[in-house]
Structure 1
C-alpha cells in the first residue's frame, strides 16, 4: 500500500529561454513556458518500489502531456543537464528509507524546462496481536494490548473504541488496529456469548520439562478438568486439540491424565470446552509450555586463560575465547564453548562423578589436563584451566560475512573477523577486494580505499584473540543488480610469510542479492549445491533472527538438530551479534542469548535483528547425491518457537560445463619456483594469474598440463584462472 498527496502550486525557479517577442506572442494565447508543479512527500509502507510515472499528471497540471515531457532524476545537476535520467520510473527502487527525487518538465517544441524536487520515503510496518475466537458464557474481558494497538467494534478504526479490560456481553467481532505513520495493521476475532452461566477464567499455562530428552512431554490435564467440573453450574468438560473441535464438541482428547505434547514447538495450545447446565458453552485456551529441564540443580563454571609469558595464569593474562570445554558423565559427553571472556558454564549436571577437560588444541598445552567434579556434596571451587604454548607458531585466520541482507539500492554491512590460531603475537593488514561498480563504499572507521580495494591495519593480535572490523556500502539499484545476482568480496590477511596455514589467510564471500525476506532464517554460505571437493571442508551456516513482536525479548534461544550426514564433532560456533553461550550434546546444538533484551521491530527496527554463525564439516562417508539439511527453532522468551526454513545442501554430480572446474589441479601449492596446472587431457584453456589487486602478472595456455615459472613473483597470494570457452575456474595460489 502507498499513499501520496499532491498540491498544485508553481515553483519559483524557471528557465526562460524564449525571446521577448515570442514571450509576448505566448501571452496572447499559446503557452510555451514549462512548469513543474509541486508534489508533496510520497510515503509507502514496507514497499521499496515506487511508481514515479504515476505522478506525471500532477506534475504537469494543466499542461498538455503531448507537448510536454516529464523526466525523473536522482540529482539536481543531472536534472538541469538532462543526463542520467531514471530509466524505469514505473518501478523505481528507493535508495535507503528516504530519498530526494528531481523532476524535469520540458516543452518538446522549444526546450524550455523547469526543475523541482520531492521526497519519497518508506516506513517500517507494524503488527498487531492476533487472538483466537472466543466462546463463553456471560461475558468476555478484553485482554491487555500494548499501544498503539487499540480495540474497535468495526474495521478500519470504525465504530466504538474499546479499552483493555472492557467486558463484552454480546456476541460480536472485535477488531484490533494500529497505525504507524502511513503503515497500519489490523486483526480481528469473534466473541460468541452462548448464554447465561458461570464466568470462567482462562487457566494459567501448564509448564513441564522434557525429562528424558525424547522430544515429548506428558501433561496431566485430568486434574484441571476435574477442578472446572467442580464449579457450580458446569455439567461437562472436555479437551480438544483445535478450536473448531472444541466449538463442535468433536474429537475430545481421550487420555486426560497423560496427554503427550511435542517439545517442538515449545508452546502448544489446547482448548477446554465447558458446558453449563443452562446449555451455554465456554471455550478456554490452555497453553502447554515445555521448558529446559534443570532436574538436579547442579551446575559449575570456570574460565580458560592463555598464559602468554609462561609465569602461570593470573588476572593479567588474556582469556582464551572459542575453546571447547567438555564434561563426561558415564557414557555421555556435554560441550560448552568459552565466550569472549573465556567463561564457560554447565547446568543440570547429573549427580555423581563427572570429568571435565579442555579439548586438545594443536600447539598448546592445557593445565590441568582434566578435573573431577562430584555432586552432591563436593562442589569444586576452582574449575579454571590454563593454556600455554608448546612452540612458537604463526597462524592467522580471516573471514568476512554480511550482517545484513543484500537488497538492491539499499545499504548493506559486513564484518571482517581476524583470529589468531597460533601462539605468537602478530601485526599486519587486511585487504578486501570488491566489485566497486556495484557497491558504493561508505567511509568506515579504520579502512582506507584505493579503487576496488579496502585496507585495514591490525596490531598486537595475541593468541586466542579475535578482532572485528566493520564496513558498509550502498548496493547498486536494478537493473545493475537484480535478485539472484552475486557480489564477491576477497579478504586477504597479511603477513603471509611464515604463516603455518596460508590457506586460511584468504577468504572469498559470494553475497547473493535478495529482496523482501523472512527475518528469521538459516542459510549456508556454500549454497544449495557443493562439489565433492567442497564436501571435504567446512559448511558455514548463518541463523538470522528478528523480534517482530510488540515488546522487547529478554532472552533468545536458538536450537537445532544437526543432520546425520554431518560430522557433529567438527561443529564450531564462529560469531554472533550479541553475547552468547553455545552448547552441543551429540546432534543437539543450542545458542543461549540470556538477557539480550532484544528490542521489538515496532519500537527499534534496526536493533531488533540478531544472528549467529557456525561451521561444521560433512562426514567423510558422504557421496554425490547426498543432501544435508539445516533448520532451527528460534525462541523469544516463552513464546512458541519460530521455525526457520529448511536449507538443503546437496553434493552434485559433475555437469558437462563444469569439467574445467572439476579437473583443474594446481600443484605444488604453496609453490617456490614453479607451479603445475593440469586439466583433463582434451581441454585447451587460457591461463591468467592475478595478484590480490586484480593485476595480471602472468598469462599462458594449457593443453592438458603445463608448468609455469613463478620464480619472479613476490611472495604472497595470487589467483590462477583457467578459461575454456565460456567456462572458467579460479584457484588460489600461494607463492613462498
Structure 2
C-alpha cells in the first residue's frame, strides 16, 4: 500500500475541492458523504495509475555469470549453476517486482520473482540427466513489460560416455604403501593419462593442496603416470625441461598404473612416493614490481626456487641467501609474507634455511616511491640467490633484473612475466622458460568468498609444461586445451577498504614456449579475474618475442649491450646494461649519417621502415669514450 502526503493530495485536487473535502457541511446527508468519499477514493486510484504509468522501467539489460557456455561433460547427471543479473533504466515503482527466467534447453525451465531495483540478480542450479546438446537462455522481465534475453553463444554438449578417476599422491614415510595420518600430500603435481590404444596424452590433471587429483576419462584402456620426470621425458627428451625432485615413486613402482575404464564406473588409485636425498639443486630467482606511482606505496614480489622442482617438498635441508636490491627511488616500507632477515639501506636479505620457507619462498614487500620519481622514467631492481649448503650446477639463472615504468596510476589486477625480455618486444631466446605472476586485489566493498582466474595460454606455449611454482593461498588448477583455470575456493579475501594489505593475492607458474619457434614469433599472455559472481576483471597483456640468437650482436664487453633484431624490419633496438644514457648513430656503407639519437634508461629505438633494404653501420658510444661499430642488415 502506498501512502501519499498532504502536498501530494493538494496536487491531485483543486483548491475549491480541497475546502469542500476537508470541511464538509454538517447538513450533508450520510449517503452524500459516502458518495463523496467514494469519488475521492476513485480519484486517488486514477492518480496512482497515472503516476505508475509515468514511473516505470523503460529498458532491461540481461547477462549471466558463473557459467561457461559451450562446455562439455561426459558424465551424467551433470549439475550447472548460473547467476542471472539485470540492469534497469527508467524509474522504479515502489512495491513492484520483476521476473528472472531461465530456459535450460532440455524442455525444463526455472523462474524467480524478485523485488524491482535498478540492479536485480538471482542464482539458479540445474541438473541435466539426459545426453544431448542444450542451449541455455535467460530473460529478465520488468513489471512494465520490457524484457531482455541472454542466449548462450554455443551449446552445452552432454554425454554419458566417461567415468571419474580419482586418488591421492602422498609421501609414504614408513614405506607401507598406505597413507597414514600425518603423511603429506604432494601439491600441484601433474597426473598424466595415456590411452594405451591411441597413445593420446591430452588428458591430465593436477593435485590440489591436499594431494588429491581427479580426471574424467572416456571408456578405454589407460596408464596413469604419477611420475612427472618420466612423463616429461616421454614428451620432450633432451629439448624440454628437466623435472627433478627428491620424492621418487614407490607404490606402485615407477608411478605407473594401468586400468580399463567403463561407462558408469568409478575408479580410484593412490600413488606413494619416498625420499631420495640430493646434493645438488638448481635454484632460480626472479621478481616483479607492481605499479610505481610517485608518493605512493606499492609491492615488489620475489619468486625463488627450482622452476622444475615438481612439487613443494624436500627431505634434504637446502639453504641459501636471497638478496633484493631496490632502485634508489624505492624504499622499504614493510612486508606482507616473509620478513627480511636484514635491511641495509636499499638492500634486503633473507636467509632461507628451512624446507618450508625454502620451497614456498614467496616474499612480497611494500615499498614507498619517492615523490622525485619522474613519470615515464624506469625503476630497476635486482634479485639474486646464493647457495650456502648445496651445489648449484647452473649459476646463470640465480640473478635477475626487473624494471617498471613510473606512472600516475595503476591497476592492482595484473600479470607480470619473468624474464621481461629485451626492449619493448621482450626479446628472449628460443626455449626460454617463462615465469608468470598474476596479482589480484579485492577492491570491492565486501570479502570475496571465491576467486577464479582464467588464463588462455598462447598457442605458442606448450601447456603440457605448465608447472605451478607458488601461490599466496590454496589453489586448484584445471586445464581444457590451452585454457587454464586457477580456482581459489573459500579464500574469503578481505576488501581493500577494511584491510588494504590483506586484500591482495597472487600466484606464479612457469611454462615453456613450443620448441622450434621462428624468430619474431610473439607470445602474449593476459588473464581474467572473477571475484565471486562479479564480471571478470581483465589484466594487462605482457609480450615476449622469440629472438634469432645468431642475429643478436654483442657490441663489446665494456658496453655490455646488444642490438636486435638483426636483420631488422621496421624497427631496430639497442640495449646497454648499466648505461642510462648513450649515443647511437646509423650510417650507410658510404658513411652518410641517416639517424643520430640518444638512448635513455639503457634503451634506444630506431624507426627503420623508411630505410631501403641493405647493410648499415650502427655506432654506440657513451660519455666515457667506450664505443663500437657493427654491421646491421635491414630487410623489408
Cross-structure match for 1:537: 432
1:491 CA displacement: 1.9
Q: Equivalent of 2:170, from 302, 305, 312?
A: 305
Contact 2:175-2:274 at 8 Å conserved across structures: no
Q: Equivalent of 1:431, from 317, 322, 332?
A: 322
Q: 1:308 to 1:587 in 2, by over 3 A?
A: same
Cross-structure match for 1:385: 272
Cα distance in 1, alignment partners of residues 352 and 190 from structure 2: 26
Q: 1:515 to 1:269 in 2, by over 3 A?
A: farther
Cross-structure match for 1:326: 192
CA shift digits 1:498-530 (9 cap, x unpaired)? 223333433433344344223433333434523
CA shift digits 1:190-246 (9 cap, x unpaired)? 33699xxxx984233456xxxxxxxxxxx47x9779x99xxxxxxxxxxxxxxxxxx
TM alignment of 1:35-114, pairs within 5 A = none
Cross-structure match for 2:207: 338
TM alignment of 1:302-701, pairs within 5 A = 302-306=167-171, 315=181, 318-328=184-194, 331-341=200-210, 343-346=211-214, 348-351=216-219, 353-358=221-226, 359-360=228-229, 361-362=243-244, 365-367=248-250, 368=252, 369-372=255-258, 374=261, 379-380=266-267, 382-389=269-276, 392-402=278-288, 404-419=290-305, 421=309, 425-435=316-326, 437-442=328-333, 445-461=339-355, 465-477=359-371, 479-495=372-388, 498-527=391-420, 528-533=424-429, 535-601=430-496, 603-651=498-546, 659-660=553-554
Structure 2 unaligned spans of 5+? 3-50, 58-86, 113-131, 230-242, 564-575, 579-618, 628-636
Cα distance in 2, alignment partners of residues 171 and 498 from structure 1: 80
SS in 1 for 2:147: strand
CA shift digits 1:370-398 (9 cap, x unpaired)? 22454567644551331442x63320524
SS in 1 for 2:458: coil
Cα distance in 1, alignment partners of residues 156 and 361 from structure 2: 34
SS in 2 for 1:493: strand
SS in 1 for 2:283: strand
Cα distance in 1, alignment partners of residues 377 and 577 from structure 2: 28
Q: 1:272 to 1:638 in 2, by over 3 A?
A: same
Cα distance in 1, alignment partners of residues 562 and 410 from structure 2: 41
TM alignment of 1:161-176, pairs within 5 A = 169-172=52-55
CA shift digits 1:130-188 (9 cap, x unpaired)? xxxxxxxxx9xxxxxxxxxxxxxxxxxxxxxxxxxxxx9343489xxxxxxxxxxxxx9
Structure 1 unaligned spans of 5+? 1-138, 140-167, 175-187, 208-218, 229-256, 262-267, 275-279, 666-676, 681-687, 691-722, 730-736
Cross-structure match for 1:62: none
1:305 CA displacement: 3.3
TM-score (norm 2): 0.56
Superposed CA RMSD: 5.0
CA shift digits 1:423-475 (9 cap, x unpaired)? 66234342314136222223653421234432222224389943344433322
Cross-structure match for 2:600: none
SS in 1 for 2:393: coil
Contact 1:202-1:286 at 8 Å conserved across structures: no
1:537 CA displacement: 0.8
1:486 CA displacement: 2.5
Cα distance in 2, alignment partners of residues 381 and 440 from structure 1: 53
Aligned residues: 442
1:558 CA displacement: 1.7
Cα distance in 2, alignment partners of residues 317 and 630 from structure 1: 37
SS in 2 for 1:529: coil
Q: Equivalent of 1:282, from 136, 146, 168?
A: 146
SS in 1 for 2:477: strand
SS in 2 for 1:573: strand
Contact 1:320-1:465 at 8 Å conserved across structures: no
Please tell me whether residue 191 in structure 1 is matched to residue 90 in structure 2: yes
Contact 1:426-1:462 at 8 Å conserved across structures: no
Contact 1:336-1:581 at 8 Å conserved across structures: no
Cross-structure match for 1:143: none
Contact 2:380-2:401 at 8 Å conserved across structures: no
1:601 CA displacement: 4.3
CA shift digits 1:85-132 (9 cap, x unpaired)? xxxxxxxxxxxxxxxxxxxxxxxxxxxxxxxxxxxxxxxxxxxxxxxx
1:726 CA displacement: 3.4
1:489 CA displacement: 1.9
1:592 CA displacement: 1.3
Q: 1:394 to 1:437 in 2, by over 3 A?
A: same
1:325 CA displacement: 1.8
SS in 2 for 1:480: coil
SS in 2 for 1:517: coil
TM alignment of 1:176-325, pairs within 5 A = 190-191=89-90, 201-206=98-103, 219=105, 281-284=145-148, 299-306=164-171, 315=181, 318-325=184-191
SS in 2 for 1:169: helix
TM-score (norm 1): 0.50
